[in-house]
Structure 1
Amino acid sequence: MGVHLDHARTFFGRDGNGLLEGGRYALVHTRSLEFDDLRPYVPGDDVRDIDWKASARSGQVLIKRFVTEKHHKIMVVADAGRNMSATAPSGELKRDVAANVIGAMGLITLRRSDEIGMVFGDARGSVDVRLRRGETHVEHMLHRFADHAGTRPSSSRIVTQLDWVARHQRRPLLLFVVSDEPDPDDRLAEVVSRLTARHDVMWATVADVPLIGSSDDEDDGFDVSDGSFVFGAGALGPRVVDAFRQAEAQRRERLSDFMVDYGIPHAVIGGSNAIRHQLTAMTQVYARAG
């Protein structure tokens, strides 16, 4: 594997078999006549797939898993703008966390040679990496994303990339969005409404490190999106800090409610070490929805 895929694999794991049982089943397994193997029952699974004889022998409820002869088509839609140069709660740059998230999704596709592509960019426009298969293609995809995100990107505007996909991708796809935490405004609602009418969508947002720390934090900072100065918490005082934290919590709750309203499985990822857990949880929701 290449440098980017190898790095993603350190957080995602080497063993693809059973690593994302619920979600991986949704992404690369569907019901067909070809039996694959058995796995433990997960709440939300179709009870028609329970293998009662195998369950009786093993002492636990087991589900039949089937493979499809068709390959899946997955389109990553990624924010490569200036917001991804900020710091995640883990201390990593958000663009590095995003690259590892994208790489993890690429690793999921490799075992069954599923097709994967990517649309990434910033407020200026979008770059389209066409659907293809294989390690070399995924590594090339990650290299282009890292190069763009790390070389003087413009401001982030994920709605630009989403609109590009809505206008150009007519056949149904699984869209996997990786972005900063967007504001759920009318423009985002309009384009997401168009996308969810045609495609399946999952969404991973890379969290920001808290803009304001504890009330005794004297360090000032700046906003990477526009370079504006940000006072440290020590200069603002505890009342302002508390009001800011409440506003941030409400903003994140509005975004989560927005995703739920459109039926989008979603996760907030604060660092690369959380990727495996968060992807598992998110893809399990996707499996049950399907």
Structure 2
Amino acid sequence: MGKHLDAARAHFGRDTGGFLEGGRYALVHTRSLEFDDLRPYVPGDDVRDIDWKATARSGHTLIKRFVSEKHHKILVIADAGRDTAGLAPSGELRRDVAMHVIGALGLITLRRSDQIGMVFGDARGCVDIPLRRGETHVERMLHRFVQHTTEVPARSDVLEQLDWVARHHRHPMLIFVVSDEPDVGDRLSEVLRPLATLHDVMWAMVSDMPVISSVEDDQAGYDVADGRVVFSGAELGPAVLDAYRRAELDRRQRLSEFMAAHGVPHALIGGSRQIRMALTEMTEVYGRAG
């Protein structure tokens, strides 16, 4: 595997079984149980489908795959703007966490032979990578995302990418958004409503390092979006810190209620070690929708 997929696998693990089963828009070949190809056996497969001759030749247990198996078309929508240069609560760069999320999705598609593409960008516009299968395709997709986020990206505006997909992708797909926590408002609702109506949408939100950590913190920070100074907790004092924490709780509660109202499974991801749990939770909700 390439270096980006290897990095994602180091955090996500090798076992990709059970993810993205079911869902409203799992794409099913409509022909009868006609032999398609072979794939490695995984626990839970019907042993009657094992191809014993091919297994003997290869030295690995291989199972027959039929064209009636479900395959998905998956489109990742990713923020690749300036906000990705910030830090996640884990201390990692948010662009690295986002890349590992996208890489984990790529690993899942490899086992399932799903098609995957991506739309990413910033406030200036979008890069639209067509749906394809395969390890080489996923690795190139990750490379282009990383390259964009590290070469002086513009202001983040994931709604620009969402709007692009709403206007240009009219066939039902599974859409997976990877960005920071969006601001709830009319513009988000106007863009998300048609997307969630036509497609299945899930949203992985890579959370930001708290703006104010504690009153003992005397180190000022800065906003990666516009470079403005963020005062330290010691300068602002306990009253401001308490108000900030209450406001953050309220903001996240509103965001969670907004996503639930639009039928969008979502998860906050504070670091790469949380990716597997977050994807498990979201895809379980997705699977029950089928």
When normalised by structure 2's length, the TM-score is: 0.85
**SS at structure 2 position matched to 1:126:** strand
Are residue 159 (structure 1) and residue 130 (structure 2) matched? no
Are residue 219 (structure 1) and residue 215 (structure 2) matched? no
Are residue 168 (structure 1) and residue 168 (structure 2) matched? yes
Are residue 102 (structure 1) and residue 99 (structure 2) matched? no
1: CA distance, partners of 2:206 / 2:223? 16
User: Structure 1 residues 68 and 38 mapped into 2: Cα distance closer, same or farther (>3 Å)?
Assistant: farther
User: Structure 1 residues 30 and 280 mapped into 2: Cα distance closer, same or farther (>3 Å)?
Assistant: farther
Q: Which of 15, 25, 32 lines up with 2:21 in the alignment? A: 25
2: CA distance, partners of 1:95 / 1:170? 28
Q: Offset at 1:109? A: 0.5
Does the 8 Å contact 1:103/1:138 carry over to 2?
yes
Residue 248 of structure 2: aligned partner: 248
1: CA distance, partners of 2:269 / 2:247? 20
Q: Offset at 1:70? A: 4.5
Alignment of 1:203-218 (within 5 A): 203-218=203-218
Does the 8 Å contact 1:156/1:225 carry over to 2?
yes
Q: Deviations over 1:160-196 (max 9, x none)?
A: 0000000000100100000011101111100101101
1: CA distance, partners of 2:163 / 2:99? 22
**SS at structure 2 position matched to 1:78:** strand
Does the 8 Å contact 1:26/1:283 carry over to 2?
no
Residue 138 of structure 1: aligned partner: 138
Unaligned runs of 5+ residues in structure 1 are 40-65
| Percent identity between the two aligned chains | 60
Q: Once superposed, which parts of structure 1, at least 4 consecutive aligned residues long, lie more than 4 Å away?
A: 27-34, 36-39
Residue 187 of structure 1: aligned partner: 187
Residue 112 of structure 1: aligned partner: 112
**SS at structure 1 position matched to 2:20:** helix
Residue 53 of structure 1: aligned partner: none
Alignment of 1:44-59 (within 5 A): none
1: CA distance, partners of 2:126 / 2:185? 21
**SS at structure 2 position matched to 1:240:** helix
Q: Deviations over 1:196-226 (max 9, x none)?
A: 1111100000011111011121111101111
Residue 48 of structure 1: aligned partner: none
Which residue type is aligned with residue 145 of structure 1? F
2: CA distance, partners of 1:179 / 1:246? 23
Q: Offset at 1:15? A: 2.5
User: Structure 1 residues 175 and 29 mapped into 2: Cα distance closer, same or farther (>3 Å)?
Assistant: closer
Alignment of 1:17-96 (within 5 A): 17=17, 21=18, 23-26=19-22, 68-96=68-96
Which residue type is aligned with residue 25 of structure 1? E
1: CA distance, partners of 2:187 / 2:26? 34
**SS at structure 1 position matched to 2:76:** strand
Q: Offset at 1:69? A: 3.1
Unaligned runs of 5+ residues in structure 2 are 34-40, 45-65
**SS at structure 2 position matched to 1:194:** helix
> Cα RMSD (Å) of the superposition?
2.1
Q: Offset at 1:87? A: 0.2
2: CA distance, partners of 1:254 / 1:134? 39
When normalised by structure 1's length, the TM-score is: 0.85
User: Structure 1 residues 239 and 84 mapped into 2: Cα distance closer, same or farther (>3 Å)?
Assistant: same
Q: Offset at 1:14? A: 1.3
1: CA distance, partners of 2:43 / 2:2? 32
Are residue 200 (structure 1) and residue 200 (structure 2) matched? yes
1: CA distance, partners of 2:232 / 2:42? 56
Does the 8 Å contact 1:202/1:266 carry over to 2?
yes
Q: What is the number of equivalent residue pairs in this alignment?
A: 259
Does the 8 Å contact 1:30/1:68 carry over to 2?
no
